[in-house]
Structures are given as structure tokens and as C-alpha cells.
A and B are shown apart, each in its own frame.
Chain A
């Protein structure tokens, strides 16, 4: 290792410091690593020093240890050496979107048939990109096909389905014909269904019946996502509720289905009307970032963890998500998940 060089984390390997631990979020390769505090300081606080100068700062007696650690990071391809430190800027963490609403959750209900055209037109106007379509009752193949057909002309690039039954014989054909369907969650699945779909990475099955939106908001290590979109969006906005809008089974329009406040009912108004007339209520939660939320603000996972404002520890709008059992002050996951089910 040439000691006259600078050592830099690649711009897409970003350290996030918690109360006790530090992780490096590798947003290019979608993973994260824990590193120790001293190493964090070397990479962040001393980033404008050459390796030589860093060793000088800590003392010759630590040279081997420092070089060893840096070598390790280089092998993992988290850092690179350079003589031109100033030519490698940090990643700009601004998050921008052309859409008014990026995510829409629709719970299928009695209102749907009559309002379908109007809803689809609003999906286009609002520039919706992702749609989660939830069915709490069995759905026929015509109904599902019609809906998928009518959203063809929208800007939606990803569709998530929550189903009680899968109304098609030929699942491969369905997935090929409906490329925008990114994932399907099949609730109330039988053992046979579990077996049939186990090799499909787009399909997951659960044995219990999902009958309402109370299942949402569970936070665990498996739910972390390390990617540019979430990382940047959560710097300035709420990582779950920003630019999200939902219609629940009875037609109520809400930010998210599990949040108590309704903004109106689709039988009496439209999505665009709600957005235009009640913008302030619509975006009540949009700007609450993890850096403002109790406990989360001290957690190293805060930019890879999606927030939940519907299920919280207290009435305080800034309180910690209820269904998370991580404690960033001691770095431990507690055994019992509070408040779930």
C-alpha cells in the first residue's frame, strides 16, 4: 500500500454512525458492513490526510494495525487509493422524482368497478410508478386481467399483488404476459400451493389469512434494503409515506391504509381533487425523516430501514416504530416483537 496516497471510501459506500455501531452502506452492491469506530474516524474525520499522515496522527505503534485494516477494506473493494483526492466527490444525496405520487396502494372493494376509469386517469395524472393491489377476498381471472389491462397506459413500472387465490392455471404465462408484476404475495396458502410456487422468486406465500392492513409495519433485519433510492429519499423524506396514497376497502382515501385519518372517500371525490384541496393533510407525514424520530435518529440502520408512522410507540408523531425491536444503544435485537399481530 503506497502510503503517500489518500484512502477513500468509494462514493457509493457510505458510513452511517449509530449510538454504538457504525455500518458502511454499500448502495451499489446492496449490502452493508459493520466497521469499528476508530476505522470510521480514519475514513471520515481524517479523509483529507494521506495514509502516512494518518499513521503519524495515531502513532507509529499502530501502523501495522491501521495498514492491516485498510488492506482488508481494499480487498473488500470498499475503498480505493488515489493521489487526486479532490477529483472524487461525495455522492449527491438529493432525491427527486417527476411524479406527484410515486406509490399507490389500492385495496380492492365494492367501490372499484364504478370508479375504475376515474382512478386510472388519476394514476396517470399523478404519475404513479408503483402500485400495490390488495385483495382481501377471492378474485376472478377476468377482474384481475381487466385491472391489469386498464393500467397498461399508466406510467406504472412495478405492480405488487396481495392475493387470497391465484386465479390462473399457467403461472409462467401470467408472469411473461405481465412483466410489470414484480411480486405476488399469496395469503391463506395451502401446502400444495406452497410447494408449487416455492421456486418462483417473484411469488411468496403465507399460510395465514391476510384479511386487513394490520400486518404492515414490521421491521426486522430482513426488511432492510440497501439501495440508492431508499437511501437518498430517507435523507429528506419519510421512507415509507412520502408521495404515497391509498384507497382502502371501503373507499376511504388515506396516506397509508393503516393510518387512522381518512382524507375523503373515493365515492364522493377523486384522488387529484384530494391532492389539490387538502395537500397539507395529504403530506402530513411526508417530511418526517428518520433523523427526527426518537431512537431511530441514533440508529445506524436509519437510511436502509423503511419507517412506519401508523404503528408507533406512542401518540407522539415522532415516536419510534412500534414493531421494531432493535436497540441502537446496545446494538441488540430484543427477542419479543412488541405489538405485532
Chain B
């Protein structure tokens, strides 16, 4: 049986893959993180979940975990009752409880085929840059520091540098008015050496800085089972998206077209995925104006709808087929 680990809301991609699994008469079960937390019981080492028997599972599409946070932050009673300090303790404690349960689920399924192994769902960007280098992929030069002097030295070597989060991009929210909540996203920011001299404190929280690559276009690659499905994103024409393509321009969306990686780059990308142990993943690359292809990062549980639809790759079907084939192989 194929196990899909996903979340209950806002998951069109999961639904579309399931539609294809239905068409192929696939034997699958969808487990939403919410349901595991709310409905499953663990009795004497066995996970009791409707018809769920971990023995029958062969392959796992590790997609998402839960749509809901552990605490409903809109419900202020939590803060009032416990005070701000205790509410963070409560949250930490609930996280730990949840973490143990999840890791028990993972250990039960440890020997199965995973699209993304549990310990691989959040990528270590720095490790991955090093693995990429060892696979002959070009990566931008970088420094991780909390020291202004060292940063300045680094910045002087390069025309512009960028700063981006080392782990995943956080989403903040702030209430503007009573009911309206605004989401704030940290986008990648670009600096010159002068700006660093003028605008930055002497010390700061340790951060990742990279040489800014001047791009001809960006490339998003969806890697699935040793095949690369690539898309070129022409974001360079548009001031609003020059640094970070997620800073979408809706009125005139960036051109997104199918792309074929040069043979050698493609081989290196595959080598990287094998070495870093990803069966699927969404990779960001840049084709620079000086003609080189740079690896930026991989998102192990990345969205592929945004590559699949514009390029008409039908990746939802291809993933379904992959899961079906893996299921047969093991059985």
C-alpha cells in the first residue's frame, strides 16, 4: 500500500495525485497529520488508525504534516491563563510531545521507501551547498558571520551580496485591524558594500550572506526518480522580482517556460540528489549572465504544481505512476 502523509487543507496537489492514483486503481491511504494527532491511538507499540496497518505499507509520499498549529493563537485565553512566558513553555512542551509521537511513527516506517526521508524534510542549506560543490555544481560564494568587519571584507570582493535565512523562510503575521491579519514574508535582500558600511550594526545575529549572481534567468528543477523536469523563469526584466522570484508580480507574471538543462549540469544535479539522498525535490538554479549555472538550494518537499502546470509536464501523473511502480517493486 502507498501511504500519503499530508495535511487536510489547501492541498490541491495531493488531491490531484490521488485522482491519478484512482485512475490507475492504486492502493493508497492518505494520512493527514491532524488525524494522526487527533484520531490515532498507540496501543502496545501498534498504531491503531482505522484500517491502517504499518506492515502493509511499501512506499511513502512524504508531503506535508498538518494545516493546523498546535495552539490556536487566535484563542487568547492561552496567553491570559498562563502569561506570555508560560505560553512559550507550553508551546515547547506540546512540540516535544508531538515530536516524539511523530518520530515513533517514522521509526515504525523506517524500512519503507520514502520520497523524502523524515530527517530530510527540512534541508540543511549549508551542508547541501557543500554536497553540491563536491558534485561539480557551481555555488555562489558565501559567508556566515555575525561580524560587520568580516562581512564588509566579503562584500568588497563582490559587487553585491544578498542575505537570506539559513533554514526555512519564516512567515510572520501581524494584525492590522481587528479582523485583518497581514502575512509578512522575509524576502531575500540585496546589498552593496557601501550599504553595509552605512546601514549595519557592528554585530548582529549570525546570518548567511551570498555573492549575488547576476542572472539571465532562474531555473526551477523538479527532480523525480532520477529525472529532471526543468523550467526557466525570466524574472530579470522585472524590477519587482530581480532578487527574489517569490516576490511575484501578478499583473504581468514572469515568463515560465520548459527548459532542458545542459547535459553536464543535469548529470551533476542528479549526482547531487543521489548523494544528498533525495528521491524527489525542487531545486533552484540560476543561469548567470556570464554563462554559468549556479546551484542555490533544494526544497525537499517543494511544490511542483508551479513547474508542472506552466510546462504541461503533468508531474501529478508522473508522481502517481512512480508511487504505483515502487509499490509493485516492493510487493
Contact with B along A162-199 (1 / 0, CB 8 A): 00000000000000000000000000000000000000
Which residues from A are CB-within-8-Å of B237? Answer: 77
Does chain A have a CB within 8 A of B258?
A: yes
* Contact status A12-B19, CB under 8 Å: no
Does chain B have a CB within 8 A of A259?
A: no
* Contact status B20-A94, CB under 8 Å: no
A contact residues, range: 20 to 34
Q: Which of A87, A93, A155 has the most CB of B within 10 A?
A: A87
Given that A29-B252, A80-B234, A93-B312 are contacting pairs, would A88 and B22 also be in contact in the complex, using a CB cutoff of 8 Å? no
Given that A10-B257, A77-B237, A77-B252 are contacting pairs, would A92 and B312 also be in contact in the complex, using a CB cutoff of 8 Å? yes
Contact with A along B304-315 (1 / 0, CB 8 A): 000001111110
Which residues from A are CB-within-8-Å of B20? Answer: 98
* Contact status A28-B234, CB under 8 Å: no
Q: B234 — nearest CB in chain A belongs to which residue?
A: A80
Which residues from B are CB-within-8-Å of A90? Answer: 258
B253 partner, pick from A28, A91, A92, A99, beta carbons under 8 A: A28
B19 partner, pick from A87, A93, A94, A155, beta carbons under 8 A: A155
Query: CA–CA, A11 to B23, complex, Å?
Result: 30
Which residues from A are CB-within-8-Å of B234? Answer: 10, 77, 80
B163 smallest CB distance to A (angstroms): 30
Does chain B have a CB within 8 A of A89?
A: yes
Complex interface residues of chain A between 79 and 105 (CB less than 8 A to chain B)? 80, 84, 86-94, 96, 98-99
Q: A90 — nearest CB in chain B belongs to which residue?
A: B258
Complex interface residues of chain B between 268 and 320 (CB less than 8 A to chain A)? 309-314, 317
SS of A interface (majority): loop
Does chain B have a CB within 8 A of A287?
A: no
* Contact status B19-A28, CB under 8 Å: no
Q: A99 — nearest CB in chain B belongs to which residue?
A: B19
Q: A81 — nearest CB in chain B belongs to which residue?
A: B216
Does chain B have a CB within 8 A of A328?
A: no
Query: CA–CA, A339 to B311, complex, Å?
Result: 40
Does chain A have a CB within 8 A of B70?
A: no
Which residues from B are CB-within-8-Å of A12? Answer: 255-257, 310
Which residues from A are CB-within-8-Å of B310? Answer: 12, 28, 228
Does chain A have a CB within 8 A of B260?
A: yes
Which residues from B are CB-within-8-Å of A155? Answer: 15, 19
* Contact status B312-A94, CB under 8 Å: yes
Which residues from B are CB-within-8-Å of A96? Answer: 314, 317
Which residues from B are CB-within-8-Å of A84? Answer: 262
A91 partner, pick from B261, B311, B317, beta carbons under 8 A: B311
* Contact status A10-B317, CB under 8 Å: no
* Contact status B256-A87, CB under 8 Å: no
* Contact status B260-A89, CB under 8 Å: yes
* Contact status A127-B255, CB under 8 Å: no
Which residues from B are CB-within-8-Å of A11? Answer: 257-258, 311
Does chain B have a CB within 8 A of A232?
A: yes
A123 smallest CB distance to B (angstroms): 13
Q: Which of A84, A89, A92, A98 has the most CB of B within 10 A?
A: A98
Query: CA–CA, A98 to B232, complex, Å?
Result: 27
Given that A80-B234, A98-B22 are contacting pairs, would A228 and B259 also be in contact in the complex, using a CB cutoff of 8 Å? no
* Contact status B317-A98, CB under 8 Å: yes
* Contact status B312-A228, CB under 8 Å: yes
* Contact status B255-A28, CB under 8 Å: yes
Which residues from B are CB-within-8-Å of A10? Answer: 234, 255, 257
Q: B216 — nearest CB in chain A belongs to which residue?
A: A82
Complex interface residues of chain B between 1 and 45 (CB less than 8 A to chain A)? 15-16, 19-20, 22-23
Complex interface residues of chain A between 219 and 276 (CB less than 8 A to chain B)? 228, 232
Q: B311 — nearest CB in chain A belongs to which residue?
A: A91
B258 partner, pick from A91, A94, A99, A228, beta carbons under 8 A: A91
Query: CA–CA, A29 to B312, complex, Å?
Result: 15
A131 smallest CB distance to B (angstroms): 16
Which residues from B are CB-within-8-Å of A91? Answer: 257-258, 311-312
* Contact status A127-B22, CB under 8 Å: yes
A92 partner, pick from B15, B16, B258, B260, beta carbons under 8 A: B258
* Contact status A29-B253, CB under 8 Å: yes
Query: CA–CA, A91 to B255, complex, Å?
Result: 13
Q: Which of A11, A29, A232 has the most CB of B within 10 A?
A: A11
A87 partner, pick from B262, B312, B313, beta carbons under 8 A: B262
Contact with A along B205-241 (1 / 0, CB 8 A): 0000000000000000000000000001010010000
Query: CA–CA, A99 to B253, complex, Å?
Result: 30
Given that A98-B317, A127-B22 are contacting pairs, would A80 and B255 also be in contact in the complex, using a CB cutoff of 8 Å? yes
B312 smallest CB distance to A (angstroms): 5
A231 smallest CB distance to B (angstroms): 10
* Contact status B253-A88, CB under 8 Å: no
Q: A125 — nearest CB in chain B belongs to which residue?
A: B22
B residues engaging A (CB < 8 A)? 15-16, 19-20, 22-23, 232, 234, 237, 252-253, 255-262, 309-314, 317
Sample of 19 more A-B contacts, CB < 8 Å, known A10-B255, A12-B255, A90-B258: A10-B234, A12-B310, A28-B255, A29-B253, A77-B252, A87-B260, A88-B259, A89-B258, A89-B260, A91-B257, A92-B313, A93-B312, A96-B314, A98-B16, A98-B19, A98-B22, A99-B19, A127-B22, A155-B15
Nearest 6 pairs between A and B by C-beta?
A11-B257, A98-B19, A98-B23, A98-B20, A87-B260, A10-B255
10 A-B contacts, Cβ less than 8 Å apart?
A: A10-B234, A12-B255, A12-B257, A12-B310, A28-B255, A89-B260, A92-B258, A96-B314, A98-B16, A232-B312
A residues engaging B (CB < 8 A)? 10-12, 28-29, 77, 80, 84, 86-94, 96, 98-99, 127, 155, 228, 232
